[in-house]
A and B are shown apart, each in its own frame.
Chain A
Amino acid sequence: MTPSLPVIWRIKRLYVRFMLAFIGHGLARACRTDQLIQQEIESLPDGFTFSMSVMSRGPCLYMKKSDGRIKPGRKSSETKSDVDIQFKHLAHAFSTLSFQEGTTDAFARERMVVDGDLSASMKLVRCFERLEVITLPRFIGRKIMRHYPEISIKEKLEGAFQIYLGVFAGFVMGVFVR
């Protein structure tokens, strides 16, 4: 019999699931509204797919680029993504997605396994970092990133508004990760 998950871990799992959905909808919106993310996504081929999940059967975000835009979707078990990022444990996903640990630190500490097209995964990392720059308070961004770029308050607020709007719309439309 599988022991039931303690409440604290259920909450963490729910949080990770929410944050993966946030990234998915945020990225889908930002590839239309943010110039830097737009450029990175444009350079990926149509049909490009990536997944970010928690081992072994934890929350999973799956995204696919079609008609020039990247959108969250559902991953079938047979599909192999072009880039597959897997956190080794829910604890690691929680630390990274709650911004206690930056993306590059998570890579350096081997919290995740990356498989597939490595150059495309570098583009995705830059997209994630750009999302962090726009949506997170500066003091958090500075703590978890190797380089925090110059960004005006106006650009940050406008960008954040667009992304939060996209995330809200995404949730309302009911496109939610598994």
Chain B
Amino acid sequence: MNRSYFEFFNPVKIVSGNEALEHIPYELASLGVKKPLIITDGGVLNAGLIEPVKQALVVDGVLMAGVYSDVPPDSSTSVVSAITRFYREHGADGIIAIGGGSVIDTSKAVNILVSEGGDDLLAYSGSGALTKRLKPLFILPTTAGTGSEVTKVAVIRDDATGRKVPYSSSFLMPDVAVLDPRMTLTLPPPITAATAMDAMTHAIEAFLGTAKNPISDAYAVAAIKGIRENLLRVLATPDSQNLRLKLAESATMAGIAFSNSMVGLVHAIGHSLGAITHLPHGVCMSLMLPYVLEYNLPRCEQAIGELLLPLAGADFYSKVPEERRAAETIIYIRAMQDELFEQTGLPRTLSESGKVHESQLEDIARMSIDDGALLYNRVDASYEQVLGLLKSAW
């Protein structure tokens, strides 16, 4: 009996393109928001990225509750509490989050407290604790990579214990994700490359994992094609709004894919690598990707071979015999890594990163096998096998 079954859910309205910011007032009004609070961080503020947003609101006569711009890179429960107080004191009735992963996760957590009431965020940790719609949440990502604008998860550090606590619920998904090229235009090349490779890994792992499904596959393939076609061109012409937008859209599609079919071993290792060595997440993804693909090859040869089409294009794909396609996919990704290393210095090995000590590999391997993402990898991995992979990537 075929036991195949899948679930797919994405209720986020994607507002994308030229002058997308100017659509925000209409979208706010549609959801009954009269006084939104902007949540962002110092970097975004200093880069002047909130100015066009404020202007779009002012022109349409939208009153702002204020701007909270002190979200740190590693947000915590006390930050969430402070913003919640700010939200309540200023009578806000909705949230506009402008930033990367930390700002987005923090905003999702703030939305829990301002919607549910109280100040005990931990009471809503885990999955299934939220049972009703939250306040309107708008997300404007300033990196093209995390996909957090379309996911149902937030991770916030608990100040009391130091633990990173996950919050998972469909109600955490924002109402609207706004992709405007102005938001990623000033992203420096190394971060552009690392975050795009994060998105590439989301799409590839979504396409290969045990929870893959036909709908997430469609998003994953479109995302891979979009990143392949636009990443190197963005690096060559960083001021191109059109290319920046296509990259942002691809990252969002990758986010939709992996939020419905999960990620695998690259993420299991990458999470641990990042936690222990503080290497940026996108860098961890980029450098581990080809090694894990080689590891998965015996069990995923056909699926990895299919990735060659969105990666290398139809002309190249049609010239490669079927039995060579999986190997060529990995060769193509390595060639892409070399190109990114040349242009941005994005490391291809752990030693090249300069931030990892060989003595840390055992701890990273031990932590990796306890990461939930491993469950969704088509090939299981033991401590010894992960350690072997890390040594290969050294």
Contact = CB atoms under 8 A, between A and B. Distances in A.
Given A108-B210, A146-B379, A122 B369 contact: yes
A125 interface: yes
Contacts of A142: none
A144 to B, nearest CB: 11
Q: How large is the interface on B (under 10, 10 to 19, 20 to 34, 35 or more residues)?
A: 20 to 34
Given A123-B370, A147-B379, A100 B3 contact: yes
A122 B374 CA distance: 9
A47 interface: no
A109 B5 contact: yes
B361 interface: no
What secondary structure prevails in chain B residues at the interface with A? loop
Interface string A109-133: 1110111101111110110000000
A126 B379 CA distance: 14
A114 B209 CA distance: 19
Contacts of A116: 126
Contact of A118 (B4, B7, B166, B378): B166
B18 to A, nearest CB: 38
Contacts of A146: 210, 378-380
B127 interface: yes
A122 B372 contact: yes
A9 interface: no
A107 B262 CA distance: 11
B273 interface: no
Interface of B: 1, 3-7, 126-128, 166, 209-211, 262, 367, 369-372, 374-376, 378-380
28 contacts: A104-B380, A105-B3, A105-B210, A107-B211, A107-B375, A108-B209, A108-B375, A108-B376, A109-B4, A109-B5, A113-B128, A114-B372, A115-B126, A115-B127, A115-B128, A118-B166, A118-B370, A118-B371, A118-B372, A119-B367, A119-B372, A121-B372, A122-B370, A125-B375, A146-B378, A146-B379, A147-B379, A147-B380
